Amino acid sequence: MAEDIEFYKRRLARERNARKQAEALIEQKSLELFYQAQERELALRESEERYRLLVESSPDAILVESDGRIVFANAAAQHLFHADSADVLLNRTMTELAAPACQAQVATAIHELKRDGSSRAGEEQALRLDGKIIDITVTRLSFQYRGNRAVHMVARDISERKELETRLHYQATHDTLTGLPNRNLLVDRLDLAIAEARRENRRFMVSFIDLDRFKWINDSFGHNAGDALLQSVASGMSACLRESDLLARIGGDEFVLLLCNTSSEDESVSVLRRVMAAVNHRVTIDGHVIVVTCSAGCSVYPDDGDTADALLRSSDAAMYRAKEAGRNTMQLYNPDLRSRFNERVKLQTDLRYALERDELDLHYQLQVEIHSGSIKGVEALLRWKHPELGNIAPSRFIPIAEESGLIQSIGEWVLRRACAQNKSWQLAGIPPIRISVNLSAKQVNRQGLESQVAQCLAATQLDPAWLELELTESASMDDPDKTLTLMHSLRKLGVALSIDDFGTGYSNMQYLRLFPVEKLKIDGSFVKGIVHDTGCRAIVDAMISLAHRLGLTVVAEMAETANQVSILAACGCDQIQGNFYSKPIPADQCAELLSAGRMSELNSLGA
């Protein structure tokens, strides 16, 4: 019995110890759980505080919409939407904050977001509370909020970026000087017009417009004056256009007009004529009144091309034909113009290398006194022997040289070559004779001509008395005050001056009287008609009489027949230059004639 009692005592003691240990362990674990719960709560509070600080300090606008109303908006949202406080945004909808044009799109996006639980990102426009529409980039995602499906929205103002993109796009597609579309936008619109015309089986017209003599205006009055003229012309042309028309500036003084919605080709031409009429007017630059005109070439889709490039090339070719026809006119494209245009491009390209390839040469035509047959001078005339095309007429390549600017270097070469040849003749024992050299309008208008002439004379050691410079009547009268100053500077060098192509331009008699020239050269177009046209004869007679009253010697160009020479002699003409006495001939043949010093009908090379 005692043993049993002792056994139970020990057992009870063990149980008490075990219970105490268990209670201690439970107390320990409870404390651990308590502390863990405290740590988790603290971490949660810290996390919530970090999230709150992150949301509140975020530079992006953050809004939460639940049950169809905004329940949260941070400070950045207040700033983005120009609200007095963030609370002002509460109870509104995200759709209300979208720009009117985007509200349907935003409502659809939110509906789909709540339905499939995905996220949406993109760019749209928002409506600020002050009524201003702004561009924003926005991301929306769906999440559970208090048991409901809610929408979380993050937005950022990108208005400045969009404005910059708009400006950059405008600069990439528009001409900075005139504000007109540039070549990039023109080609895009042309491609679109071609696609529409092909789909609807329609035609449309493209016109290439180029200002006449613009380079001369730029060279004479400076680039500021040229820019002002381009702006004025662009404004005038734009005022004539319909809403469906497009006028682009593709470079320099070149414009392209796209005429799409016209019922007929005649209607397109009528619009083009209005545009050309807007260009053709008088402008005053630095006190000088200048008549501005333009030339236009037209191509039609699909007859003259079915791509933007083909239509532009065709209208460009037609425009060049309009230039060749006398300027201030329009020309419709035809297939023959393509070969002419290609030839012109080839000539311009080859002309750039003609000097260095030694393809250019000078021929010389005598100026003979009518009554005595004495040779009074020679004119240096430029010739080009193309390695493939043979001899090319000056009337074909000189206009190209002038328009391309090559006339400057070619003109300088002609002057130097002519002076060197004259000096060579003198050293060979040929009696000194005056050699005349034509100056192009671009040479006359370019600064430094006097220095160029002086350097040429010094380099060739030619006495200035044996050089005569010819200025055309038109070039002389473009800016007569400037021309008068130039002429006096050249006369100080000792060279002689003459007016070429007299009768084809417009002369101010006051300036003609003041110009220090010795000769007037009557244009050959009058000489050609002098035998059968009494009007031509009267004009020639009047020009000779005028020149003599001014104390000038008269030279008649392109005299080819005895009848012409006889009438010119009767009118009192002093000298003849033409095939009647001598065609333009190489230097060695000319030297033989100069050695003789006198011409007669019997030894005429033109017989």
Q: How far apart are CA 155 and CA 139, in angstroms?
A: 7
Burial string for 543-564 (b: 16+ CB within 10 Å, else e) reads bbebbeeeebbbbbbbbbbeeb
CATH placement of domain 181-333: 3.30.70.270
Q: How far apart are CA 575 and CA 598, in angstroms?
A: 13
Q: How far apart are CA 167 and CA 169, in angstroms?
A: 5
Superfamily designation of domain 344-596: EAL domain (3.20.20.450)
Q: How far apart are CA 361 and CA 259, in angstroms?
A: 47
- Which residues, including other chains, have CB under 8 Å from residue 368's CB and lie 6 or more apart? 374, 375, 376, 575, 576, 577, 581, 582, 599
- Which residues, including other chains, have CB under 8 Å from residue 45's CB and lie 6 or more apart? none
Q: How far apart are CA 93 and CA 73, in angstroms?
A: 12
- What pLDDT was estimated at residue 505? 53
- What pLDDT was estimated at residue 467? 96
Q: How far apart are CA 136 and CA 144, in angstroms?
A: 25
Q: How many residues does the chain have?
A: 607
Start-to-end Cα distance in the chain? 174
The two three-digit tokens of residue 400, written as one number: 């190209």
- What pLDDT was estimated at residue 10? 74
The dihedral through the CA atoms of 523, 525, 526, 527 has a sign that is positive
- What pLDDT was estimated at residue 196? 93
* CA-to-CA dists, residue 343 to 205, 315, 337, 347, 539, angstroms: 25, 16, 10, 6, 38
pLDDT tens string 165-205 = 988 888 899 999 999 999 999 999 999 999 999 999 999 99
User: 10 Å Cβ neighbour count for 322?
Assistant: 24
User: What are the residue ranges spanned by the domains of the chain?
Assistant: 1-52, 58-162, 181-333, 344-596
Q: How far apart are CA 509 and CA 468, in angstroms?
A: 22
| Domain 181-333 and domain 344-596 have a common topology | no
- What pLDDT was estimated at residue 14? 77
Facing residues of 554 across strands?
A: 520
* Residue 553, helix vs strand vs coil: strand
- What is the arrangement of strands in the sheet containing 69-73, beginning at the earlier edge strand? 69-73, 61-66, 148-157, 133-145, 119-127
Q: How far apart are CA 353 and CA 404, in angstroms?
A: 13
The dihedral through the CA atoms of 397, 401, 406, 411 has a sign that is positive
φ, ψ of residue 62 to 5 degrees: the values are -125, 125
Stated as kind and residue range, the H or E segment containing 187 is helix 183-200
- What pLDDT was estimated at residue 35? 66
Radius of gyration of the chain (CA): 44
Facing residues of 298 across strands?
A: 207, 332
CATH placement of domain 58-162: 3.30.450.20
Low-confidence residues of the chain: pLDDT under 50:
601-607
